[in-house]
């Protein structure tokens, strides 16, 4: 029969072993979540057909994302801003109206919201700074 000390030592060793397995599994889950988030971002960017600089910016912002929360909104906000920029640069709206300014402000607000929801920005000020870049 094993002594209490031996049983305790075995239990502690088993506990260490199980903790190491848990850590390994948590790491694997995090990496899988990152891969899924990256694949989702690639898909969203492909669908949005954003210009390369915008796609690069979004890739940089979401490079460490472990969840897809806020990605779709961010891509949509960039697409909306891009669409408004194209309209303005094509001369279709040479006389910018208050409506266009409101639409651009709404797109920026969506972008700020997506950064907050995705956890890329902890405060609204951080999110606004990121959206301004």
Would you state the pLDDT for residue 113?
Answer: 81
Q: For the chain, what is the domain count?
A: 1
pLDDT of 119 > 90? The answer is: no
pLDDT of 94 > 60? The answer is: no
Range of the domain at 19: 4-132
Average pLDDT in the chain: 84
Distance (Å, whole) CA 40 – CA 70: 11
In which band, very low, low, confident or very high, does the pLDDT at 93 lie, cut at 50, 70 and 90? very low
Residue 28 structure tokens: 């694997």
Would you state the pLDDT for residue 91?
Answer: 59
Helical H segments across 49-97, by residue range: 52-61, 71-89
CB–CB of 129/88 below 8 Å?
no
What is this structure's pTM? 0.56
Rounded average pLDDT over 91-106: 57
The fraction of the chain above a pLDDT of 90, given in percent, is 40
Comparing 104 with 4, the larger pLDDT belongs to 4
Comparing 57 with 90, the larger pLDDT belongs to 57
User: Model confidence over 18-41: pLDDT tens digits?
Assistant: 999 999 999 999 999 999 999 999
Sorted by sequence, the CB contacts under 8 Å of residue 63 that are 6+ apart come out as 38
């Amino acid at each position: 029969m094993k002594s209490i000390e031996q049983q305790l030592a075995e239990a502690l060793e088993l506990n260490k072993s199980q903790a190491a397995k848990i850590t390994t599994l948590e790491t694997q889950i995090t990496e899988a979540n990152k891969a899924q988030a990256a694949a989702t971002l690639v898909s969203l960017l492909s669908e949005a057909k954003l210009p390369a600089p915008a796609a690069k910016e979004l890739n940089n912002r979401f490079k460490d994302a472990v969840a897809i929360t806020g990605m779709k909104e961010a891509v949509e906000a960039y697409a909306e801003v891009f669409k408004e920029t194209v309209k303005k640069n094509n001369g279709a709206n040479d006389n910018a109206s208050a409506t266009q300014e409101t639409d651009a402000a709404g797109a920026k607000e969506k972008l700020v919201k997506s950064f907050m929801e995705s956890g890329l920005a902890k405060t609204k000020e951080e999110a606004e700074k990121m959206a301004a870049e």
